């Protein structure tokens, strides 16, 4: 299995005081906290009361692990606190808590795209010794080796893998069957299928994708560029690739999809895309696998029994798909003041075999063999998607380039500036960032 990021490689509950008071369904989650699994979390009694603050954004794929940790590890003398937050809020709070000598949070949800930057800055604790210490107790050797590699930097593990998320295409099988359509395998087919559905007269904007200008749009561009076989940076020469023809092609291909999407698509995050599928205003959506199980719930949509799943298309043909593979996991900040062994047991319990099985089908756990076609309606699509994801860019500059070029990407895709001007700006921004890493 190859691994990428939450932009290119791209992972809950509620406040809990001393007593267990959990309720999490906000900020994109459709997994109630009261349904969290109770698993073994045999923590030693602390000599004094301990409060552990957990930072993890709300989503249906992350919440099962967070809720399980909070429910299972809260006991006499130990309280876990977690407040609902969206992904953008998590990013901001992560930056803030890692900035000083002491931080607010003891456990961080992290992901493969951002981890190299924090690890290179020595803001996270290496976990290798703790994995060795607790391997047998929590069966940590059963966690997929490639996912462990995705949360490693410079030969050290900085995140304990929880789950993987990858792009999956969800579509209305009833609409496709009625029109004699098959799931598209290229962007050209995606446009043709969208045009056919529109022409049928019932769904004017048949395609939904998260292109939120403040976050998702950079992920979309990186996925398109990766499908064309090009990384942000040629790591051997330390030179950005935004002056290559594929950089412009990625923009043109994404812009060609806009006529088939809601005019306000650059304000849509993944929950908004889900809503388009729930209410029938879209017939296809490409988004992270962690959002797929929500579509199959009758309580969310009258179309729940009509959704089917396929791997995302490639941009221009070939085996590398328009895709993002993000490995999500748990990290311990270097400035955390609580006992690292205590914190590690909490995160290890939340990714135990029992916890991982309980997370399916909402999530795609990091343990080998957990997800099967019988346990998840989108398993086959997800497994094919993983195998054809673009390769990883596990470098500390990758996330910085993505963040600093995001506004340019949004301007180009929305037509605010020409493609050539946008790629030139991105080349300049990336070159300045890479200069800081030159020997």
The pLDDT of residue 33: 53
User: What is the predicted pLDDT for the residue at 12?
Assistant: 26
pLDDT of residue 35: 65
* Cβ(148)–Cβ(1) below 8 Å: no
| Residues of the chain falling short of pLDDT 70 | 1-35
Q: 152: helix, coil or strand? A: strand
- Cβ count within 10 A of residue 70: 29
pLDDT single digits (tens) 66-98: 999 999 999 989 999 999 999 889 999 999 999
DSSP 161-183: EEEEEEEEEEEEHHHHHHHT---
Question: Exposure pattern of 317-355 as b/e (b: 16+ CB <10 Å)?
Answer: eeebbbbbbbbbbbbbbbbbebebebbbbbbbbbbbeeb
Determine the 3-state secondary structure of 350 from DSSP: helix
pTM: 0.85
């Amino acid at each position: 299995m190859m691994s990428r990021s939450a932009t290119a490689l791209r992972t809950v509950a509620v406040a809990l005081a001393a007593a267990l008071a959990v309720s999490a369904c906000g900020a994109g989650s459709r997994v109630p906290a009261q349904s969290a699994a109770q698993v073994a979390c045999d923590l030693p009694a602390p000599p004094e009361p301990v409060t552990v603050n957990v930072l993890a954004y709300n989503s249906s794929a992350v919440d099962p692990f967070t809720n399980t940790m909070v429910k299972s590890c809260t006991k006499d003398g130990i309280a876990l606190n977690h407040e609902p937050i969206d992904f953008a809020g998590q990013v901001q709070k992560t930056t803030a808590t890692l900035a000083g000598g002491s931080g607010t949070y003891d456990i961080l949800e992290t992901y493969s795209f951002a981890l190299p930057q924090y690890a290179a800055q020595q803001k996270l604790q290496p976990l290798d010794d703790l994995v060795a210490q607790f391997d047998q107790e929590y069966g940590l050797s059963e966690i997929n080796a490639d996912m462990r590699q995705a949360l490693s930097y410079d030969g050290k593990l900085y995140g304990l893998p929880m789950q993987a998320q990858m792009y999956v295409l969800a579509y209305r099988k009833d609409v496709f069957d009625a029109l004699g359509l098959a799931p598209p395998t290229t962007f050209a087919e995606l446009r043709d299928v969208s045009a056919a559905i529109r022409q049928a007269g019932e769904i004017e904007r048949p395609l939904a994708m998260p292109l939120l200008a403040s976050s998702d749009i950079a992920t979309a561009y990186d996925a398109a560029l990766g499908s064309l076989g090009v990384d942000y940076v040629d790591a051997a020469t330390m030179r950005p690739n935004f002056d290559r023809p594929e950089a412009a092609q990625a923009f043109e291909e994404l812009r060609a999809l806009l006529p088939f999407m809601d005019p306000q698509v650059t304000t849509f995050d993944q929950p908004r895309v889900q809503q388009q599928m729930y209410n029938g205003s879209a017939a296809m959506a490409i988004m992270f696998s962690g959002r797929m199980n929500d579509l199959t719930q009758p309580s969310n949509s009258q179309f729940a029994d009509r959704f089917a799943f396929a791997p995302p298309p490639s941009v221009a043909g070939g085996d590398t798909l328009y895709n993002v593979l993000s490995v999500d996991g748990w990290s311990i900040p270097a400035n955390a003041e609580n006992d690292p062994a205590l914190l590690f047991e909490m995160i290890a319990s939340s990714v135990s075999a029992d916890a991982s099985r309980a997370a399916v089908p909402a999530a795609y756990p990091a343990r080998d063999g957990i997800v099967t076609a019988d346990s998840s309606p989108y398993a086959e699509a997800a497994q094919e998607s993983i195998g054809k994801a673009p390769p990883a860019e596990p470098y500390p500059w990758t996330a910085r380039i993505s963040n600093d070029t995001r506004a340019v990407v949004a301007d180009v895709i929305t037509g605010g500036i020409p493609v050539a001007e946008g790629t030139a700006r991105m080349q300049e921004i990336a070159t300045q960032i890479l200069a800081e890493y030159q020997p």
